[in-house]
Amino acid sequence: MTETLTIRNGIDVDQLLATIEAIKDDPAVGTFTFRASSRWEEGTYNLGEIGRFIHAGQEDQTRGEAFQLEGDEPPVLLGRNKGPNAVELLLQALGFCYAVGYVANAAARGIELTAMEYELESDLDVRSFLGLDGPRAGFTEIRAKGWVSSPNATKEQLVELCQYVQDTSPVRDSLANPVSVTTTLEVR
């Protein structure tokens, strides 16, 4: 027996289709619990770690060392520019999410990609953060722009896929629609 491995855009399409079938058979295969942690260092500077996650009720074992991230603010927001700030990370997450959604769905549809980029920007008024009367504490608007090149898809197909990706993007959905956030504090 010969097995044909279909890799498109660097995506293993056979694995993608097998994953979808596995989740159809057992929805638990589609459930994840992701995690991150951070430790305050000084001022606005924090060290972050992203390690293992739970998939289908069990801890995934494929990651060795946790990913390390640095968070800080620019001087105008009391920091020293040792890392991006929290809201910038949020924008970066949206770009990464769009890209993954686009490349995976393109692969499944037989669309080859040769290039893809995203630029994201958002407006923030820090008055509420600083305890002053002002607009909402969070982003008042996010604007995302993508560029994509494909040798075998029409413009219409690529634009339609962009809409599909928006409708199914975990990060976009988490920003565009309310998420329940429960926060507790323990004093040591």
Min dist CB 1 to a second copy, Å, is 24
If one asks whether residue 109 binds a second copy (CB under 8 A), the answer comes out as no
Listed in sequence order, the residues at least 6 apart from 172 whose beta carbon sits closer than 8 Å to its beta carbon are: 94, 97, 98, 166
Please give the residues from 65 up to 104 whose contact with a second copy meets the rule CB under 8 A: 67, 69, 71, 73-76, 78-79, 81, 83-101, 103-104
Question: How far does CA 82 lie from the centroid of its chain?
Answer: 22
Interface of this chain with a second copy, residues 141 to 170, rule: CB under 8 A: 141-150, 155, 158-159, 162, 166-170
- Give the C-alpha separation, 68 to 55, whole Å: 21
Q: Which of 2, 5, 26, 42 binds a second copy (CB under 8 A)?
A: 42
Residue 5 within binding range of a second copy, rule CB under 8 A: no
User: Are the C-beta atoms of 107 and 184 separated by less than 8 Å?
Assistant: no
- Restricted to residues 165-184, the positions that interact with a second copy (CB under 8 A) are 166-184
**Residues contacting a second copy: total by CB under 8 A:** 128
Binding residue for a second copy (CB under 8 A) from 110, 112, 117, 152?
117
- 3-32 residues labelled b (16+ CB within 10 A) or e (exposed): eeeeebbebebeebeeeeeeeeeeeebeee
Q: How far is the CB of 5 from a second copy (least distance, A)?
A: 13
Report the nearest approach of a second copy to the CB of residue 178 (Å): 6
For residue 110, the minimal CB distance to a second copy (Å) is 15
Cα angle value 65/66/69 (rounded, 5°):
135
Asked if 6 touches a second copy (CB under 8 A), the answer is: no
Q: Which is nearer to a second copy, 2 or 17 (CB)?
A: 17
Half-sphere exposure of 54 (CA within 13 A, CB side): 8
